[in-house]
Chain A
């Protein structure tokens, strides 16, 4: 045996090299502008989602800074009410629809999920690419509106009748509702891709019971998106009908109902908060285990909590409407539901604490951000307990107390985990390590600035300052607190600049990362950094909940997938046994053309209902191109002998 081993190893290496070059040829990622537009590989699209949504984070941040400058002193004349109303509407819409969901759900999901499943690509890669372009389309429509002074000015919630045709002539509210349609179709598309990837593309052995928490959360969120987004599309669609073709769904003068809109909007709006927060929690669960150098404590309770959050999240929407004067019974019901959702979040916090408590914590950069998340998000979560109580809520509702609360929840629950996650997966995406020193500067600047700005706002709210006011009178005595809140923006800006510098520097000059620099257990760390276009030379199999930690030295791999066509393995959704092989459709320009056709239809329909009948044929033509059967793949090569690892 001893004499034959090196020979086998050499033979195997040669075979691997040959296989790698064949796979690289088959799974090529097209180049050039045309190629860029038609590249359907999930790592490329995922990174695009991240970069694009990060740009919108910066743009939304610029708007926030402008608002803070306007409020730095009473009766300031920097921005008039018209511009201020556009800016706060754009800030909210940008941060929710163009940053938070595309970054936390789509960006991380599309990049990480297929790798974590051990798959070669995402399911329905063309739908995924189409979703990206639609998202960009919606973003361009919204920001094009602002740049042409038709930025929506009715709040990110666009309550009727203020956003209705009587009180908002022109196209500002139309642009808002059509942007909703764009981004929601995009999120729905990605939800379908991710749910399918998680249910059917998991590596053999990764049964539901062994699925990592991050995949559970992405699966839960995908279903939340599928159930929540239609509600807001109905709301914005009916609003658009009211505005464009003169229906009266929300016109009280004609028997329409203004509260109906609020119910529809918040039936989406509250689950949306969890759609943004759960990905953050998923990142935290991943990091807590990795940097405590032990398995997560309470895998099952955490998974149950996540799924429970997904359900209860749909039963609390009325707490956004406590001030509308509901009957006391329904108020009590929704108070109880809102308090109940604290329990699953509490369970997750207790499990994270237990994991760290009994772990060997190594405070690397991502873990520092995870600790930032604990300090910040808890404040938001606990002030949320106060808001669940109807009497307290009727006092602080629509004041700066709420502004403080939800920035603690959303920046705490999304931005802090986002930076943690970006630093964590940075080596996987670029092959280089992020700079720890710059990362710490980034953390402390941002942490201090964030608390200066938003902790102060609690007091402004208690002192009676309402939201969405473009200015205030000097005798309200709010200027000191407002000045303090504005000061924090400078720190946060500095922190963000350090982050950008860190990314730009480290992606070229950072230390080489290797496959698994953090020693994590996810399958994505079982391939090279950055991963090849086919993700895994041999798709992996899984023995336990922590895939790489539980892998045996001779862990089996998947063989028998063809290397001359883009073949992927489809497994059973429960026990992930191999079921059949499917072909990845490969790069195509049609998703881009289809998104152009759909965008033209959506944008045109703002101006005339005829855009729909004129645009529909274009959409159909592009869909025919998209779905046109490809000529059959070349004859299969004879299967080669493969070695199990």
Chain B
């Protein structure tokens, strides 16, 4: 038993990261974590009691030398067992009732967050990336981005979900429970993050070939930082400042890129793939699969199918100069 625990401890990650059910950073997650531990200790106690019972009963086992022993009648044992089993069943019912009440109360706590003036974020699942929209009644005040969800800390945020194709599921383990994104249904739930930081999320409903690489992150930042980010995102794309970036934009607009992507302020306006207007402001690309570096971006543009086989983006053949220009341009899209 001790050896088993040592082996297990040795295999545990040293740094569990910010994608952990037991390390919540939001009140919803904390409520659930609390409930998790309460039920855990209840069932742990039950397990220990039952196993002690079976072990003791088994330890009394008779020798197999004479097998089978005659069957015996045991009225007295039956009489005692009646009381023991009756009591155990009654305790089970009471315990289950406690679990039910705790569960319903915690469920209400975790869901019950209201605010008259929340930040509203629309999350739309795509195979295999996340479209993130900060809707605003004025169309030009609407922010559209992908895979990285910025939220202000200590502010109630309402997440509206939808899917453009198959069922996905929105899950940030350190924030709260998951919610399925069902095509044909839209639903809403609240989150509120208390500690600034980057929390990793992941699609939790099997959605096809690249389900494994459908990550996203929630970036919680101070209200000021959030507003600054939002203002930056509202701007159209940066104009090319030199020849190389100018050529890069031309490459973008004359190759397959513009078939799927939007860069606001240019002719590229398709909504099939992620909006790239502020690509360079993101930490990661390809739905949190690769770091947003020049090298990774180059590898992704040339052969996305090697990194995410089955992804909707086709390989591109670009001359080295075109590629370098395109990368230079994309890296200016702050």
Interface membership of chain A positions 381-422, coded 1 if the CB is closer than 8 angstroms to chain B and 0 otherwise: 011011011111111111100000000000000000000000
B32 touches A391 (CB 8 A): yes
B57 touches A394 (CB 8 A): no
CB < 8 Å neighbour of A391 from B31, B169, B189, B203 = B31
B70 contact set on A, CB distance < 8 A: 293
A389 contact set on B, CB distance < 8 A: 35, 39, 99, 102-103, 106-107
State whether the Cβ of B227 lies closer than 8 Å to any Cβ in chain A: no
Q: Which A320-372 residues sit within 8 Å CB-CB of chain B? A: 323-325, 328, 331-332, 335-336, 339-340, 342-343, 346-347, 349-351, 353-364, 371
Looking at the assembled complex, report how far the CB atom of A601 sits from the nearest CB atom of chain B, in whole angstroms: 31
Given A346-B89, A391-B32, are A456 and B207 also a contact pair (CB < 8 Å)? no
State whether the Cβ of A480 lies closer than 8 Å to any Cβ in chain B: yes
A361 touches B187 (CB 8 A): no
CB < 8 Å neighbour of B205 from A80, A396, A398, A549 = A398
Q: Which B151-196 residues sit within 8 Å CB-CB of chain A? A: 161, 165-167, 169, 171, 173, 176-180, 182-185, 187, 189
B173 touches A468 (CB 8 A): no
A82 touches B309 (CB 8 A): yes
B-side interface residues, number (CB < 8 Å): 104
B208 touches A167 (CB 8 A): yes
B206 touches A162 (CB 8 A): yes
B309 touches A481 (CB 8 A): no
Which chain B residue has the least Cβ–Cβ distance from A401? Answer: B21
A394 contact set on B, CB distance < 8 A: 32, 176-179
A324 touches B51 (CB 8 A): no
Given A258-B182, A360-B72, A371-B58, are A347 and B309 also a contact pair (CB < 8 Å)? no
State whether the Cβ of A14 lies closer than 8 Å to any Cβ in chain B: no
Surface stretch bound by B, among A18-26, A220-228, A470-478, A526-534: A470-478
State whether the Cβ of A556 lies closer than 8 Å to any Cβ in chain B: no
CB < 8 Å neighbour of B32 from A159, A375, A395, A471 = A395
State whether the Cβ of A85 lies closer than 8 Å to any Cβ in chain B: yes
A293 touches B96 (CB 8 A): no
- 28 A–B contacts from the bound complex (CB under 8 Å): A82-B309, A167-B208, A252-B183, A253-B183, A253-B184, A290-B68, A293-B70, A297-B81, A297-B85, A298-B81, A323-B169, A323-B177, A354-B77, A362-B62, A363-B58, A378-B47, A385-B96, A389-B39, A391-B177, A397-B204, A398-B204, A398-B206, A459-B8, A461-B21, A464-B19, A464-B21, A469-B212, A481-B12
State whether the Cβ of A155 lies closer than 8 Å to any Cβ in chain B: yes
State whether the Cβ of B61 lies closer than 8 Å to any Cβ in chain A: yes
Complexed CA–CA distance, A546 and B72 (Å): 12
State whether the Cβ of B10 lies closer than 8 Å to any Cβ in chain A: yes
Interface residues of A (CB under 8 A from B): 80-82, 85, 154-155, 159, 161-162, 166-167, 252-253, 256-259, 290, 293-295, 297-298, 301, 323-325, 328, 331-332, 335-336, 339-340, 342-343, 346-347, 349-351, 353-364, 371, 374-375, 378-379, 382-383, 385-386, 388-399, 451-452, 455-456, 459, 461-464, 466-473, 475-478, 480-481, 483-484, 518-519, 521, 546, 549
CB < 8 Å neighbour of B179 from A325, A371, A392 = A325
A521 contact set on B, CB distance < 8 A: 71
B71 contact set on A, CB distance < 8 A: 293-295, 519, 521, 546, 549
Which chain A residue has the least Cβ–Cβ distance from B200? Answer: A464
Complexed CA–CA distance, A459 and B22 (Å): 10
A480 touches B54 (CB 8 A): no
B173 contact set on A, CB distance < 8 A: 395, 464
Given A293-B72, A456-B8, are A81 and B212 also a contact pair (CB < 8 Å)? yes
Interface membership of chain B positions 253-291, coded 1 if the CB is closer than 8 angstroms to chain A and 0 otherwise: 000000000000000000000000000000000000100
Which chain B residue has the least Cβ–Cβ distance from A518? Answer: B68
Interface membership of chain B positions 49-64, coded 1 if the CB is closer than 8 angstroms to chain A and 0 otherwise: 0110110111011111
Looking at the assembled complex, report how far the CB atom of A517 sits from the nearest CB atom of chain B, in whole angstroms: 8
Which chain A residue has the least Cβ–Cβ distance from B185? Answer: A259
B184 touches A257 (CB 8 A): yes
Complexed CA–CA distance, A546 and B73 (Å): 12
State whether the Cβ of B78 lies closer than 8 Å to any Cβ in chain A: yes
State whether the Cβ of B236 lies closer than 8 Å to any Cβ in chain A: no
B80 contact set on A, CB distance < 8 A: 358
CB < 8 Å neighbour of B180 from A324, A340, A472, A475 = A324
Q: Of residues A154, A162, A521, which shows the largest number of chain B Cβ atoms within 10 Å of its Cβ?
A: A162
Q: Is the interface of A mostly helix, strand, loop or mixed?
A: helix
CB < 8 Å neighbour of A323 from B68, B165, B178 = B178
B206 touches A155 (CB 8 A): yes
B302 contact set on A, CB distance < 8 A: none
B176 contact set on A, CB distance < 8 A: 394-395
B209 touches A325 (CB 8 A): no
Complexed CA–CA distance, A347 and B90 (Å): 10
State whether the Cβ of B36 lies closer than 8 Å to any Cβ in chain A: yes
Which chain A residue has the least Cβ–Cβ distance from B172? Answer: A464
B171 touches A466 (CB 8 A): yes
B178 touches A371 (CB 8 A): no
Given A161-B167, A395-B36, A476-B17, are A356 and B57 also a contact pair (CB < 8 Å)? yes
Complexed CA–CA distance, A325 and B188 (Å): 8
Complexed CA–CA distance, A208 and B73 (Å): 22
Looking at the assembled complex, report how far the CB atom of B126 sits from the nearest CB atom of chain A, in whole angstroms: 12
A361 touches B58 (CB 8 A): yes
Complexed CA–CA distance, A132 and B325 (Å): 66
A335 contact set on B, CB distance < 8 A: 100, 103-104
Which chain B residue has the least Cβ–Cβ distance from A459? Answer: B12
State whether the Cβ of B250 lies closer than 8 Å to any Cβ in chain A: no
State whether the Cβ of B69 lies closer than 8 Å to any Cβ in chain A: yes
CB < 8 Å neighbour of A328 from B107, B203, B204, B213 = B107
Given A335-B100, A357-B81, A459-B12, are A391 and B110 also a contact pair (CB < 8 Å)? yes
A477 touches B206 (CB 8 A): no
Complexed CA–CA distance, A356 and B74 (Å): 12
A332 contact set on B, CB distance < 8 A: 100, 104, 107
